[in-house]
Structure 1
Amino acid sequence: MRTGIAALVLGYVLSQFYRAFLAVLTPVLAQDLGATPEMLAEASGWWFLAFAAMQLPVGAALDRIGPRLTAGLLLAVGALGAAIFAMATGVGMIKLAMVLIGAGCAPVLMASYYIFARVFSPAVFGTLAGVVIGIGSLGNIAASIPLSAAVEAMGWRATVGTLAAITAAVALAILFLVRDPERLRHEQRGSVLDLLRIPALWPIFLLMFVCYAPSAGIRGLWIGPWYRDVFGADAKAIAWVSLAMGLAMVAGNFAYGPMERVLRSRKWLNFGGNALLMACLLALGTMANRQGWPTVALLMGVGFFGATFPMVMAHGRAFLPTHLVGRGVALINLFGIGSAGLMQMVTGRINKALTPPADLLNSAPTSLPYTAIFWFYAALVGAGLLIYLFAQDRTD
């Protein structure tokens, strides 16, 4: 069981990498393929939307055929997508590749969560969920300085081609090493509609809709264009800032589990963390034209306080019936990942609408679109927190 979970965690490392690597590739893709920030925002959004669209079939597959085949076969599709990315001759191929990679990465985290929910005590679900995301966030870190160094040494095509081979190898490891939990003897029938009829889940769905999108969008995409457009940063500088935010995300994922045991409340831990996330976003909007450590510290704050994903998942898991665990965790994940994809596209439109034309660059601040993006994310989190106030707390 341990080696199988380790293989799934490696798959999640790749999932975290792929959702964040476009930020560092922004300069080379702009140079080689003419990709604009809006185009890359759309490509990144397609990754998240494909990932989200797969959650309902993934959840059903986890309950019916188990995590081994579900995760192993789909991750092989992700390897194909990475190979297409490496051969891309235009932005259209990049978008197709991101769809395939997103679909391929869709089951790996939920497969491990399914095993935790079926095999381990409910009391440790939140901690285990956080550990997986914390380790998986090393992929986020790999998509910073290490990726920049690899691209400089080998070129972006060879780098992504190598990643395609690694992804295929991890898919094979999952197929050979993962052991499915024992099937339920008297499995009850049920569907996603049964989950939607549980009132306690709805405030949790809506918090998940707003809590992950800011850190995913800023770290995965907007750091690159923001630092390039406003501060004239090169790929190395962008990679260093991305690394700082990525490390904060890792720390946050490891920190929330112990904090739950101290506070003995999932609801108020999630509420407080996301309130601090909103404060960091508001401050970033105010300081979008200021380069230096205060801005980097706020980005790290977004990464750390925005790491409530596993604890929101644990809050929702507490209300899921056993026979619908696979579909339940996938449905909660759909709200988080689906929102991240939609918000990538929305913020791409904001960026395009507020970026001043070339002949007005001297009279309009280049930081304006990024101020709007940060404040948009802050407003989104604030709306979710208002609804989450009505959530029912539950611990195991």
Structure 2
Amino acid sequence: MTLLSRRHAVLVFLVFAFAYFFSAVLRAITATLSPTLTREFDLNAQQLGLLAGGYFLGFAATQLPLGSWLDRHGPRKVVIGFMLVAIAGCLAFSMADGFSGLLLARVLCGVGVSACLMAPLTGYRRWLEAPAQLRANSWMLMTGSLGMVASTLPVQWLVPAVGWRPVFWLLAAGIAASTVAIAWLVPRWEGGAPPASAPQPSYGQVWRHPYFRRLAPVGFFNYGGMIAIQSLWAGPWLVRVAGYAPLDAARGLFIINLSMLCTFWSWGLVNPWLQRRGITTNGLIAGGVPLSLAALAAIIALGPQAGAGAWALFCVSSTFVSLAQPAIGMAFPAAVAGRALSAYNLVIFAGVFVVQWGIGLLVDAFTAAGWDAVAAFRGAMAVFLATCLFGWGWFMLAKDNE
């Protein structure tokens, strides 16, 4: 293992965080732009869900080859190549003139930023000690929350002034700047592929690992579902169920994402302290996930009375499942870390796509059955709650197989 000096580690963290910031803006921007895009392109709930989910579809499609490339070639070389695709995706989105063009560009954006978290986490597995890995993971997610904060009110203020298309020109420029910074400051990978005589790492050993299988459903439904809500469906709920005006909804999303930023910052502070005291990731997930389930059940029961504060509580209480990601990385040897992290990220983002699109399908189906908007959204969220209960139940029942 090659450990970086403290100063170099800080610089590497900052340039990766800069890239991940723009990745998170792209992830969540459709929630803020949903009223504008719905009006301009006459989108229904299913199309809106598919458009937002297209990012995650592109993201998920790259995860398996990404893990192999990260283990072999290292974070620096891989992430630079991917981010060039993200720049192309932003420019394509800004020029789209119909739903198909928007969707294709959205998929390209997802492909392009799909290495922005996995690349640093793979590097941290080799460059940092275990407590620092936990802290760096939480603070990377905090940076992502900062990007999601930037996708709310700042975007809402920019759109009337310059239009939504130039916003994507600015994103392309920011991603280009972060690509240059990574090329300059991130170290080259040492000792890439194992020698031919050594056992070759494979995804088989990842998928067969009992701990990976135990965490897969909670990653798919609970973690993926939380991201689906945060990056899309909280916005339409605030407008169509709680009755917020678009600007008020943007303020509500700002509150939600600011809450997530503070939460991940706090996790970064306390994770090393928890590890030193023997408080495990498994215990935190087992005890913490029921809080998110209770929050979601309350939102469904409250309906129009459930506003931004209720969704902030749900998202914050769901962050316990984020601890699974570094735990997966540390459960495998460093030579397989890229594959393990990317495989688990595939599970999470496949879940985001399924939940994001699935909620849209359910809302449209319930509406077609004669339900009003409030009832349709509550019904869709009740189905989502059932899937989250399944994910947590699987985790609890599988604990003896670890």
Query: What is aligned with 2:394?
Result: 387
Could you say what secondary structure the match of 1:21 adopts? helix
Amino acid across the alignment from 1:14 = F
Equivalent-residue separation in structure 2 for 1:380 and 1:222 (angstroms): 16
Query: What is aligned with 1:91?
Result: 99
Q: Confirm or deny that 1:60 pairs with 2:100.
A: no
Query: What is aligned with 2:218?
Result: 207
Q: Confirm or deny that 1:277 pairs with 2:292.
A: yes
* CA RMSD, 1 decimal: 2.0
| Alignment match of 2:57 (pick from 24, 49, 54) | 49
Distance change >3 Å, CA 217–CA 197, structure 1 → 2: closer
Query: What is aligned with 1:264?
Result: 279
Range with greater deviation from structure 2 (335-344 or 305-314) = 305-314
Equivalent-residue separation in structure 2 for 1:336 and 1:123 (angstroms): 23
Q: Confirm or deny that 1:163 pairs with 2:174.
A: no
Query: What is aligned with 1:376?
Result: 383
Distance change >3 Å, CA 40–CA 64, structure 1 → 2: same
Q: How does 1:97-112 map to 2 (within 5 A)?
A: 97-112=105-120
Residues 214-242 of structure 1 show CA distances to partners (whole Å, capped at 9, x for unaligned) of 32122211122222223443321110110
Distance change >3 Å, CA 213–CA 198, structure 1 → 2: closer
Query: What is aligned with 1:335?
Result: 347
Q: CA deviation at 1:130?
A: 0.6
Q: CA deviation at 1:185?
A: 8.5
Q: Confirm or deny that 1:6 pairs with 2:14.
A: yes
Could you say what secondary structure the match of 1:212 adopts? helix
Amino acid across the alignment from 1:380 = T
Equivalent-residue separation in structure 2 for 1:304 and 1:231 (angstroms): 20
Could you say what secondary structure the match of 1:180 adopts? coil
Q: Confirm or deny that 1:319 pairs with 2:331.
A: yes
Q: CA deviation at 1:52?
A: 0.9
Q: How does 1:221-370 map to 2 (within 5 A)?
A: 221-257=232-268, 258=270, 260-261=274-275, 264-290=279-305, 295-355=307-367, 364-370=371-377
Structure with the bigger percentage of helix: 2
Q: CA deviation at 1:138?
A: 0.4
Is this contact kept in 2: 1:52–1:337, CA < 8 A?
yes
Amino acid across the alignment from 1:301 = L
Equivalent-residue separation in structure 1 for 2:193 and 2:42 (angstroms): 56
Q: CA deviation at 1:393?
A: 10
Is this contact kept in 2: 1:256–1:308, CA < 8 A?
no
Is this contact kept in 1: 2:49–2:357, CA < 8 A?
yes
Residues 72-111 of structure 1 show CA distances to partners (whole Å, capped at 9, x for unaligned) of 1101101111111111111111101110000011001011
Range with greater deviation from structure 2 (131-140 or 305-314) = 305-314
Is this contact kept in 2: 1:208–1:335, CA < 8 A?
yes
Query: What is aligned with 2:206?
Result: 195
Equivalent-residue separation in structure 2 for 1:272 and 1:256 (angstroms): 16
Q: CA deviation at 1:247?
A: 1.3
Q: CA deviation at 1:251?
A: 2.3
Equivalent-residue separation in structure 2 for 1:91 and 1:48 (angstroms): 17
Distance change >3 Å, CA 17–CA 372, structure 1 → 2: same
Equivalent-residue separation in structure 2 for 1:225 and 1:161 (angstroms): 25
Could you say what secondary structure the match of 1:89 adopts? coil
% of aligned pairs identical? 25
Amino acid across the alignment from 1:67 = P
Q: CA deviation at 1:353?
A: 0.5
Equivalent-residue separation in structure 1 for 2:135 and 2:322 (angstroms): 8
Equivalent-residue separation in structure 1 for 2:236 and 2:111 (angstroms): 26
Equivalent-residue separation in structure 2 for 1:355 and 1:165 (angstroms): 41
Range with greater deviation from structure 2 (5-14 or 69-78) = 5-14
Q: Tell me the matched-pair count.
A: 386
Could you say what secondary structure the match of 2:316 adopts? helix
Could you say what secondary structure the match of 2:215 adopts? helix
Distance change >3 Å, CA 221–CA 185, structure 1 → 2: closer
Amino acid across the alignment from 2:280 = S
Amino acid across the alignment from 1:326 = G
Unaligned runs of 5+ in 1: none
Range with greater deviation from structure 2 (243-252 or 139-148) = 243-252
Q: CA deviation at 1:123?
A: 3.3
Could you say what secondary structure the match of 2:304 adopts? coil
Equivalent-residue separation in structure 2 for 1:12 and 1:172 (angstroms): 14
Could you say what secondary structure the match of 2:254 adopts? helix
Is this contact kept in 2: 1:212–1:336, CA < 8 A?
yes
Amino acid across the alignment from 2:87 = A
Could you say what secondary structure the match of 1:182 adopts? coil
Amino acid across the alignment from 1:241 = G
Q: CA deviation at 1:305?
A: 1.3
Equivalent-residue separation in structure 2 for 1:224 and 1:10 (angstroms): 25
